[in-house]
Amino acid sequence: MKIAILTGGVGGSRFLCGLVEAVDPAGVTAIVNVGDDLEILGLSVSPDLDSVLYALAGLGDEERGWGRAEETWNAIETVESLGGEAWFRLGDRDLGLQLVRTQARRAGQPLSAVTARLTAALGVEATILPASDEPLGTWLDTPNGSFPFQEWFVSRRHRDPVDRVRFEGAASTRPAPGVLDALHEAELILIAPSNPFVSIGPILAVERIRSALERRRVPCVAVSPLIAGRAVKGPAAEMLQRLQGGTTAAHLAQCYPGLIDVLVIDEADAADADAVSTLGVRPIVAPTLMRDAPARRRLAEAALDAVALA
């Protein structure tokens, strides 16, 4: 079965691990957020692509949700002791990948080509595509100023309330090679349980990706990143409250107007199901906490069942 899935880092890669257990990974194409990408210490870092890559390669740190398992931090501690930029944490093992990618980018290889090479080298069967090969930076406008994504998220610990999310360059940004084909060939489109504003938002800001979704002929199923109106991790609930006026499943569904047919919501949010239906989106109630491998797989199966039942 051919599946295209829009995804961010932590929540998205947890879900993808379950998805590739439930279906043949060769049919899965992950279209990954690049709005978080940054240049740091002279390196071209793509955090969400790396979370997905490490998770699917079985190398990710499941607990932390980003970076590699069994990581050590000697290099970044040296950077810190020398007064270098150490606020963005890069582990020693992770740095090896950043070096390879940075060199390839400097040599002129597009991000999608480098990603394909890394995916193959790590033995990942699924296809991993950046949403775009062109820079598409996420910016947050807050009462305390405007910040690029990583400065707001990591350095300022997403404490500033967000008035607006902007994507620099999005208007003219084209999808990376393979993205539109994957969306057109898919028998099912999924939106991972990722932050709708800063993980899925930048992907949908690429006009041709959004219009491909609007014109889809196959079902699009989103999985909620909220449980009992709260994010499992990160600022999704605060953003939903401030930008969408509430944190129910219906507020989440409104982040994807005309783009989704089904929304998988947690049992704790079952009371929101009617409000979701009212929006023309079919709610599916399931346990959505991905605490271990069986839970991740069951959630993926719930999303797949949603289509079988449609």
| Site size with Ca ion, rule: CB under 5 A | 4
Give 12 or 27: the residue with its C-beta nearer to ligand GDP: 12
Closest contact distance (angstroms) between CB of 11 and Ca ion is: 9
Closest contact distance (angstroms) between CB of 49 and ligand GDP is: 10
Query: 116 phi and psi, to 5 degrees?
Result: -60, -40
Give 91 or 193: the residue with its C-beta nearer to ligand GDP: 193
Give 102 or 224: the residue with its C-beta nearer to ligand GDP: 224
d(CA 33, CA 132): 8
Q: How many CA atoms lie within 13 A of 210 on its CB side?
A: 15
Determine, following the binding rule CB under 5 A, whether residue 37 of this chain makes contact with Ca ion: no
- Residues 40-59: x/- map of binding to Ca ion (CB under 5 A)? --------x-----------
d(CA 241, CA 256): 16
Closest contact distance (angstroms) between CB of 27 and ligand GDP is: 21
Q: Which residue is nearest to ligand GDP (CB)?
A: 11
55 binds, among ligand GDP, Ca ion, none (CB under 5 to 8 A by kind): none
Give 45 or 231: the residue with its C-beta nearer to ligand GDP: 231
Decide if 186 contacts 3 (C-beta within 8 A).
yes
User: Which residues pair with residue 110 across a beta bridge?
Assistant: none
Determine, following the binding rule CB under 5 A, whether residue 9 of this chain makes contact with Ca ion: yes
Determine, following the binding rule CB under 5 A, whether residue 36 of this chain makes contact with Ca ion: yes
Decide if 260 contacts 220 (C-beta within 8 A).
yes
Give 30 or 286: the residue with its C-beta nearer to Ca ion: 30
Q: How many residues does the chain have?
A: 310
Closest contact distance (angstroms) between CB of 106 and ligand GDP is: 25
d(CA 76, CA 48): 20
Contacts with ligand GDP, residue ranges (CB under 6 A):
7-12, 14, 48, 51, 66, 192-195, 199, 224-225, 227, 231-234, 236, 288-290
Closest contact distance (angstroms) between CB of 176 and ligand GDP is: 18
Closest contact distance (angstroms) between CB of 25 and ligand GDP is: 18
282 binds, among ligand GDP, Ca ion, none (CB under 5 to 8 A by kind): none
Decide if 272 contacts 261 (C-beta within 8 A).
no
d(CA 270, CA 275): 10
User: Which residues pair with residue 32 across a beta bridge?
Assistant: 7, 130
Residue 58: other Cβ atoms inside 10 A: 12
Decide if 222 contacts 15 (C-beta within 8 A).
no
Here the contacts of 40-43 (C-beta below 8 Å, separation 24 or greater) are 40/85, 40/88, 40/90, 40/150, 41/79, 41/84, 41/85, 41/90, 42/102, 43/90, 43/95, 43/98, 43/99, 43/101, 43/102
Give 106 or 233: the residue with its C-beta nearer to ligand GDP: 233
Closest contact distance (angstroms) between CB of 175 and Ca ion is: 19
Residue 268: other Cβ atoms inside 10 A: 16
201 binds, among ligand GDP, Ca ion, none (CB under 5 to 8 A by kind): none
Give 122 or 289: the residue with its C-beta nearer to ligand GDP: 289
290 binds, among ligand GDP, Ca ion, none (CB under 5 to 8 A by kind): ligand GDP
Binding site residues, Ca ion, CB under 5 A: 8-9, 36, 48
